[in-house]
Chain A
Amino acid sequence: MNNYMSGAQIVVEALLEHKVDTVFGYPGGAVLPIYDEIFKQKKIKHVLVRHEQGAIHAAEGYSRSTGKPGVALVTSGPGATNSVTGLTDALMDSIPIIVLTGQVPTFMIGNDAFQEADTVGITRPCTKHNWLVKDTNLLGKIIHEAFYVSTNGRPGPVLVDIPKDVQFASGNYTKKKDFLPKRYTPKIKPDNNLILKAVKAFENAKKPIIYSGGGVINSGDNASTLLRELVDKSNFPITSTLMGLGCYPASKKNWMGMLGMHGTYEANMAMHDCDFMFCIGARFDDRITGKTDEFSPNSTKIHIDIDPSSINKNILVDIGIVGDIDISLQAFLKLWKKRGAKTSLNKTWWDQIDDWKGINCLSYKKSAKSIKPQYAIQRLEELTKDLDRYVSTEVGQHQMWAAQFMGFEEPKRWMTSGGLGTMGYGFPASIGIQLAHPKSLVINVAGEASWLMNMQELGTAVQYNLPVKQFILNNERLGMVRQWQELLHGGRYSHSWSDALPDFVKLAEAYGIKGICCDDPNKLDDAILEMLDYDGPVIFDCLVEKHENCFPMIPSGKAHNEMILSAEEPEQEIGKSGAVLV
């Protein structure tokens, strides 16, 4: 095959070599040559979003639910700047996506040309790496490097900025097999001495806890399998971060639920009181640790992470192992089993955990008159848990309730914006997920305020007939903001309500899809079933209790063992040092 072709052809050729089947994008002046090539072929499906932010989140949803990198294509200037939030979101959550941006021609760069922006400059801190391609001969190699960098080591977003003259000019295409990754070689094999030390600490643990995170999912399905083996053979209790839900099945008895600010009482208490903590692919985020100097004071801590900078960043650990989770757990399990698969688990530890579980921290006051948001999620869970289901969320109270009340049995079934906390993430993400899994049920659990942030993507859902279910817990409030204002700012609800809301049913009808509104707990099940039965996109406007708070909660600046379980508890003082935290 002739390797001499235009830059635009090189882009399409390289995407095909990387087996890209879907590209999320929005055309514009500086990417027209690439769009011309996309027009001429049939193998790559281009999905026209309604805003570039939507393209990036959709690519994220595609990637998170498949494990493959997501690809987005946007134009220069505003196209590129609109992608910044999505790139930052993917960076924080370690999601591999490749964003291709058009750029003004090389000879106009720096002249404040029409739709010019310093894209590589703007996106430098919000990508794992980015490239400005100045020579068509280098374009193929750079795209291969972009895929390589994005998916190897700790995954993350990358961006390739391609000036229009580079797209038009012809050059030699470097085939994928001729590209040799030379300079970026992350360490994936763990140090054997450290594995031995870790195994010894594991064997001696009396009150252990396994704390897993999104790194397990990123490492591939085998990492989850190994994690399950480790938990089942050792009978250690396991909790997970928001990002790691699904890597251990929620239905099994060793599962303690999510930990952290809105995690379960038992998970957080066990984190605080354990004598051994095994952190696997998580990063001691501030949502997890609470007050760092009172974090799990009496435990030996082991941390496996592929990113050396995650180790000892927030919490000093005793044994820090740099390596891929899959490879590291293989080595760990092999050695542990070779030494006889011993544990020193203290029997009273499970009794203690069961006592904490007995508190039933997720309980809430039921109501016969209004739909409690927790109840809505519980019913949704009950009616969909046995289906082939993928769930995305927006950000806020509904996200935490979904994490608390929904159970995930497999990895890559739960897609949420954890690190950046991007309101508006869920709807476009659900579109990306549905495109990757056309036959599956895809639900976006949303709050009305978050959902409105990217509601333009209704057009995308309708155009491609994607049967995404938008399950909106509508409390006419920015729920989490309002909760903090109640707890921290004397109930002064400054600008935390959603005024001038649309009639969501009419909005759905305006787009020719189905809208359902429900405000009666007795009719909720039927309404949810109606949503599930409908073959097409649905907006479900679930009118819920307006001033419900999300509990349990570790208040800012407090330690794990200082959780608030309900609003009825004697009021806890959140100090000034706590109020300054987010």
Chain B
Amino acid sequence: MQKLFLKKGISRKSAYNLRNPKDDEFERHTLAILVDNESGVLARVIGLFSGRGYNIDSLTVAEVDHSGNLSRITIVTSGTPSVIEQIKAQLDRMVPVHDVHDLTAEGASVERELALFKVFAKGEKRVESLRLADVFRAKVVDSTLVSFTFELTGTPEKIDAFADLMVPLGLKEIARTGVAALSRG
């Protein structure tokens, strides 16, 4: 299997990055959006981002209130401060959107992401990957004689850091869920 090529910090970037990320004022914001859980609502939100040229760094969506028929979409986006303001205003005026919270701007928040890493290694490298997984409190969820699959939960930065360490040890595949986030307290 081909070795996975990961450039530092590139893992959170997606094909939706349409604006120039080299802009000095570029900021990364996590938005928590409460929406009606109706068909097409995700397409509406994503369509807004692609149609107006906003970035999506990561996106998660799931129903959070079955009786109230509500879903939470967590989007990590990046842009200049004025673009971030536009994104919030554009989201807020959509009919199925109940509220939009900018967790980055509204004070402390917690962010978590889950990722699975498949590492192929032998000998000392295999032992080292296990040792590092232990340091990061990653769990082994599958193993063969030549590979481990680790499960790791943490901030996106922690997951990036673990990925960077696993690359020289034989990281072949990653699956990430994207960020789930809530404001504190």
Contact = CB atoms under 8 A, between A and B. Distances in A.
Interface in A141-155: 149, 153-154
Query: Interface size for chain B: under 10, 10 to 19, 20 to 34, or 35 or more residues?
Result: 10 to 19
B93 A186 contact: yes
Interface string B72-93: 0000000000100110011011
Contact of B93 (A121, A124, A125, A309): A309
Nearest to B36: A183
B40 A309 contact: no
B82 A312 contact: yes
Contacts of A121: 40, 43
A288 B180 CA distance: 42
A186 B97 CA distance: 12
B47 interface: yes
Interface residues of A, number: 20
Given A125-B51, A183-B96, A308-B92, A313 B43 contact: no
Contacts of B93: 153-154, 186, 307-309
Interface in A179-198: 183-184, 186
A120 interface: yes
B98 A183 contact: yes
Interface in A267-321: 307-309, 311-313, 316
A132 B39 contact: yes
A154 B44 CA distance: 18
A149 B95 contact: yes
A125 B90 CA distance: 12
Contacts of B86: 309, 312-313
Contact of B47 (A125, A128, A186, A313): A125
Interface string A122-150: 00110011001000000000000000010
A120 B40 contact: yes
Contacts of A312: 82, 85-86
B96 to A, nearest CB: 7
Contacts of B90: 309
Contacts of B39: 132
Contacts of A309: 86, 89-90, 92-93
Given A125-B51, A183-B98, A316-B82, A308 B40 contact: no
Contact of A124 (B47, B89, B98): B47
Nearest to A132: B39
A121 B41 CA distance: 11
A129 B85 contact: no
Interface string B29-47: 0000000100110011001
A343 B37 CA distance: 52
Nearest to A121: B43
Interface in A105-130: 120-121, 124-125, 128-129
Interface in B88-129: 89-90, 92-96, 98
Nearest to B92: A308
A313 B39 CA distance: 29
B109 to A, nearest CB: 23
A124 B50 CA distance: 13
Contacts of A154: 93
Contacts of A129: 94-96
B43 A124 contact: yes
A355 to B, nearest CB: 36
A128 B82 contact: no
Contacts of A308: 89, 92-93
A389 B88 CA distance: 42
Contact of B40 (A124, A149, A307): A124
22 contacts: A120-B40, A121-B40, A124-B43, A124-B44, A125-B47, A125-B51, A128-B95, A129-B95, A132-B40, A153-B93, A154-B93, A183-B95, A183-B98, A186-B93, A308-B89, A308-B92, A308-B93, A309-B90, A309-B92, A312-B82, A312-B85, A316-B82
Instruction: Report, nearest first, the 3 A-B pairs whose CB atoms are least far apart.
Output: A309-B89, A129-B95, A308-B89
